[in-house]
Structure 1
Amino acid sequence: MSSRLDITDDTITALKEFWSLPKFGPDDTRYPAYVGFLPASLRPAAETELNAFVDQLIATLPETPNKASVLKLFAQCLLWFAGHDTEDRNRICDYLVEIMDIIGLESSDGLLNNFMYA
């Protein structure tokens, strides 16, 4: 579970680029199309929550580049999204998978699956 991740300057740069992107808005390039985080009044809060998680990764990964630490942060982030619609929960999982790709984390050890379906 404490698998070491290979975190480089490029990894941190990619996380910063991800942070700067707009999140949770409507997206008709997906199937089915994503209407955006609902209610729309919570979109800024959802984006802020996800960006705060990314900030935590940027701050902690260089010193603690291991899977267990990342999954603990994932679990904390997911708590905010737990009571929302399935589409919004699916979208946060998509974002977390994108982050997993950036940091080289191959598996959430069932964390995302449990969040969606448990």
Structure 2
Amino acid sequence: MNKYLLILLISLSFSACGQTVIKTPENAMSKFEEFKNKEKFVEENSFFYPGIADPKMRPVLTEKINKAADDFKAVAESQNPTDKEYQDKIELGLSRFSDVYMDLDTEDRERVCTYFEELMDIVGLESSGGHLMKFMYGFSLPESSGTEE
């Protein structure tokens, strides 16, 4: 009985903090590697993305988004990763683009966001906590339904 009480208390403490534990999918580590190995910021018709206008920016942006994948992987490997931990990594990852933000056009910013959405899909994270909207549009909406992105 004490075991169940302990589990309940731990669950309640996460709920009280507004955090949800996210079970890392079995194939997440291989998906992170696949993500890192694929060529990025190239033309993709499925996203209506024309590719980065300045090819010299491709390795810079790729390095930044691959660091975000490493951040997500580190959280996924931790014990009891939470949505908040992933959302903090999204915020950190997006902050790495601040030095090039003004050089990115709308399509490039959208592509950055879709890469983060791919990382979110790998671990089953439903919301960026408003970080993607803030990056894209400069503001975020208060969460009403729990999933705005």
TM-score (norm 2): 0.70
Give the unaligned 5+ runs of structure 2: 1-17, 139-149
Which residue, out of 122, 134, 137, partners 1:114?
Answer: 134
Which residue, out of 57, 82, 86, partners 2:106?
Answer: 86
Aligned residue-pair number:
116
* Residue identity in the other structure for 2:128: S
1:25 and 1:35 in contact (8 A); partners too = yes
Does 2:111 match 1:67? no
Q: Pick closer, same or farther for the CA change 1:38–1:77 going to 2, 3 Å.
A: farther
Query: What is the root-mean-square deviation of aligned Cα atoms in Å?
Result: 1.6
Structure 1 segments of 4 or more deviating over 6 A? none
Q: Identity of paired residues, percent?
A: 31
In structure 1, C-alpha distance between the alignment counterparts of 2:120 and 2:55, rounded to whole Å: 27
SS of 2:44's equivalent in the other structure is coil
Structure of greater Rg: 2
1:24 and 1:47 in contact (8 A); partners too = yes
In structure 1, C-alpha distance between the alignment counterparts of 2:96 and 2:67, rounded to whole Å: 12
State the partner residue of 1:104.
Answer: 124
TM-score (norm 1): 0.86
2:76 and 2:123 in contact (8 A); partners too = no
In structure 2, C-alpha distance between the alignment counterparts of 1:28 and 1:9, rounded to whole Å: 30
Residue 43 of structure 1 deviates from its aligned partner by 0.3
SS of 1:61's equivalent in the other structure is helix
1:81 and 1:89 in contact (8 A); partners too = no
State the partner residue of 1:42.
Answer: 57
In structure 2, C-alpha distance between the alignment counterparts of 1:59 and 1:79, rounded to whole Å: 18
Answer 1 or 2: higher relative contact order, Cα 8 Å, separation at least 6. 1
In structure 1, C-alpha distance between the alignment counterparts of 2:72 and 2:105, rounded to whole Å: 26
Give the unaligned 5+ runs of structure 1: none
